Copies of this chain bind each other. A is one copy, B any other.
Amino acid sequence: MIQSVAFIGLGAMGYRMAAHLPQHFDTVYVWNRNFEKAKQHATEYGTQAVELAQAVQADVIFSCLPTSKDVEELIASVKIKSGSIWVDCTSGVPESAKNLATQLKLHNIDFLDAPVSGQTIGAETATLTIMVGGESAAFEKALPAMQAFGKLIKHVGGSGAGFSVKAVNNMLLAVNLCSVAEGFTALKAHGVNLHEALDCINASSGKSGVTETVLPQRILNRSFPLTFALPLLAKDTGIALDLVREAKLSAPVIALTQSLIQASSDLSEKDSDFSSAVKMYESWSKITIE
């Protein structure tokens, strides 16, 4: 039985995810590097803003940080309660998950890699998808805590499997971003009405998350709202490519897409939304996708 939970990393996602925990658990610790955020969360949602050393004494400890490196450094800096489960919701590196799981196991701590999808709206409405890697027993034990903010929660394999699925998902997003940019630029060059074309494609076999939501809600209306930064997508495509490389596989579309997203990220302002990857294509063709 989970008595206490902690949430470490109160960014755009974490802040909203942690907000659901007090409805299910009596003791909910929160911690954030910028500690004002933690105190604000405590005031707003009835969580307890505590020092990191105390946070890691919870039965289930969630983390949601920018990269696996951040998680590694944080874990290296604390003494975690024996018997606890660390659930890392970062979009992280599979290899890192394997290493952390092995290392923490020596101290009788379980590590689950449990990245989420569903964006801030999903975090707010507790309808996130969670793809979890790690041992089955730990998954079962941590499940009630994950259910506080997740809807579809799947145990996809051993350590690193959750991060792997997230990386592949984001890679598929990236591939669609590039190919839709290419295809719609070509359609516009040939005088096709993009809005009508989009309606047709969304009723056909070429549709994707990008054609259904990203293209109409972020690109065609030229809004590019920052909810997921392009450099982070570049990082995730890199994780996907590393998966391919480690297994000595051949994945030409993934390899090429990683290069293209990297180039478009390098060309963009730092705080660009992932959807602005299409602007590299627009600079090539002098055609605006609108």
* Interface set of A (CB-CB < 8 Å, partner B): 94, 117-118, 129, 131, 133, 152, 154-158, 160-161, 164-165, 168-173, 175-176, 178-180, 182-187, 189-193, 196-197, 199-201, 203-211, 214, 234, 238, 240-260, 262-263, 266-267, 281, 283-287
Please judge, given known A-B contacts A179-B257, A205-B117, A260-B252, whether A184 and B157 are in contact too, CB under 8 Å. no
State in angstroms the CA–CA spacing of A254 and B252 once bound together.
Answer: 10
Interface of chain A: mostly helix, strand, loop or mixed: helix
Please judge, given known A-B contacts A180-B172, A184-B168, whether A204 and B129 are in contact too, CB under 8 Å. yes
Q: In the complex, are the beta carbons of B244 and A186 less than 8 A apart?
A: yes
Q: In the complex, are the beta carbons of B266 and A192 less than 8 A apart?
A: no
In the complex, which residue of chain B has the Cβ closest to the Cβ of A200?
Answer: B131
In the complex, which residue of chain B has the Cβ closest to the Cβ of A211?
Answer: B172
Q: A152 is contacted by which of B165, B189, B192, B203 (Cβ under 8 Å)?
A: B203
Please judge, given known A-B contacts A165-B197, A168-B186, A179-B253, whether A204 and B118 are in contact too, CB under 8 Å. yes
Q: In the complex, are the beta carbons of B253 and A255 less than 8 A apart?
A: no
